Amino acid sequence: MQGDLFGEVAPPPLAETPAGAASHDNPAARAGRRKAKVRLAPSAGAWRALAQRLPAQLRFGVSTWSYPGWDGLVWDGDYDPGVLSKHGLDAYHRHPLLRTVCVDRTFWRPLTAAQYAAYAGQVDDDFRFVVKCPAGVTDAQVRDDEGKARKPNPDFLDPRLAVEHFVQPALAGLGAKLGVLVFQLSPLPWGWLNRPASLLDRLGDLLAAVRQALPAQGGVIVAVEIRDPELLGQALVDVLRAHGATFCLGLHGKMPPIEEQLPMLRALWPGPLVCRWNLNRDFGAYGYADAQKKHAPFDAILSEDPHTCAMLARTVRGIADAGQPAYVTVSNDAEGCAPLSIQKLAQAVAE
């Protein structure tokens, strides 16, 4: 899988089907496939007053949006996942609380400028995208289709590949609608964790190239997300600060809880907030499959996490009230239904 990331292969179509999506044999799903135009659920208008109470610098969004289970929350019907993937952003971005989205599929394979432009064409000028650098750059291992490491990745943190296959196409396709570039470092082998200075030097070279490729006044945030708590500390802070990057709060079982990651943001203050609330810690570090099984069809909160919600809301309010941008994207795996989690977060921030 990962070995083909930078090969001469045709880019995948925009359509993608998330795990746990409704069956194509379902009559309602078949009817949804026939709908060429995705429309916003009428109930979304009820959140407009709350959205107006939130800081202007704050943007909430989801990670992947092609879920039929959001019928009545985001969509006005039970659309087919493929239809939502290709056409759903036009409705999604009209929801008052959803002003950003994380395009996760870029992690698995680079997108072309035309594919990015197709996304940008579905949203208005105020909307911003969060996009992830391909794993072919940010994973130290080349992995098979099951995610098992096969061999060391010779392209790990390669500045040229990061710029040519990620930064430049995203800029060309999204333009002013590009909000955040996320460089998520996959869990590292001990060979790298035992040489943190070499790792951070290489990361610094990549960040320097990325910063040089970005417009000086463009406002694009560069964020680094890690999956190894051993890297938390001043050495990483120094590299991020030196290259105008920030630390991405990654809320899931592989990292400590939010309160143990906040010192990184304090050390980088003043600066923006980028947070990705990916997985409820109750499922452990490798519990994504279990979370999907429990939460499908992702239309209700089934794994409530009031502690993370309260801590995150307090953090968001403090950073946004200080005039700094705040991007928070939420997965269904956090509590069971990302739009409902965002509603809770928005209420907590407003109060």
125 domain residue, yes or no: yes
Question: Is the omega angle on the peptide bond into residue 270 within 30 degrees of 0, that is, cis?
Answer: yes
**Nearest in space to 132 (alpha carbons), one of 186, 72, 57:** 186
pLDDT of residue 285: 84
13 domain residue, yes or no: no
20 domain residue, yes or no: no
* Share of residues in the chain with pLDDT > 70 (%): 90
Residue tagged 């407003």 (tokens): 350
Domain of 342, CATH number, reads: 3.20.20.410
Total number of domains constituting the chain = 1
**Residue 99: how many CA atoms within 13 Å on its side-chain side?**
22
pLDDT of residue 3: 37
pLDDT of residue 145: 77
Q: Quote the CA–CA distance of 255 and 243 in Å, as a whole number.
A: 24
State the DSSP H helix or E strand holding residue 191, giving kind and residue range, or none if neither.
helix 190-193
pLDDT of residue 251: 97
CB 264 within 8 A of CB 211: no
Cα 226-205-153 angle, rounded to 5 deg: 60
pLDDT of residue 32: 41
Q: Which residues make beta-bridge pairs with 71? A: 75
pLDDT of residue 295: 97
89 domain residue, yes or no: yes
User: Taking the chain (351 residues) in consecutive chunks of 10 residues, what is each chunk's mean pLDDT?
Assistant: 35 34 43 67 97 97 95 96 95 98 93 97 97 97 83 96 98 97 96 96 98 90 97 98 98 96 98 97 91 96 97 97 97 98 98 89
CB 73 within 8 A of CB 339: yes
pLDDT of residue 36: 61
Q: What is the pTM of this model?
A: 0.89
16 domain residue, yes or no: no
Rg of the chain on CA atoms, in Å: 19
pLDDT of residue 286: 86
**Per-residue pLDDT tens digits for 169-192:** 999 999 999 999 999 999 999 999
156 domain residue, yes or no: yes
**Per-residue pLDDT tens digits for 85-108:** 999 999 999 999 999 999 999 999
**Per-residue pLDDT tens digits for 143-166:** 887 778 889 999 999 999 999 999
pLDDT of residue 102: 97
319 domain residue, yes or no: yes
Name the residue range of residue 44's domain: 2-6+27-350
61 domain residue, yes or no: yes
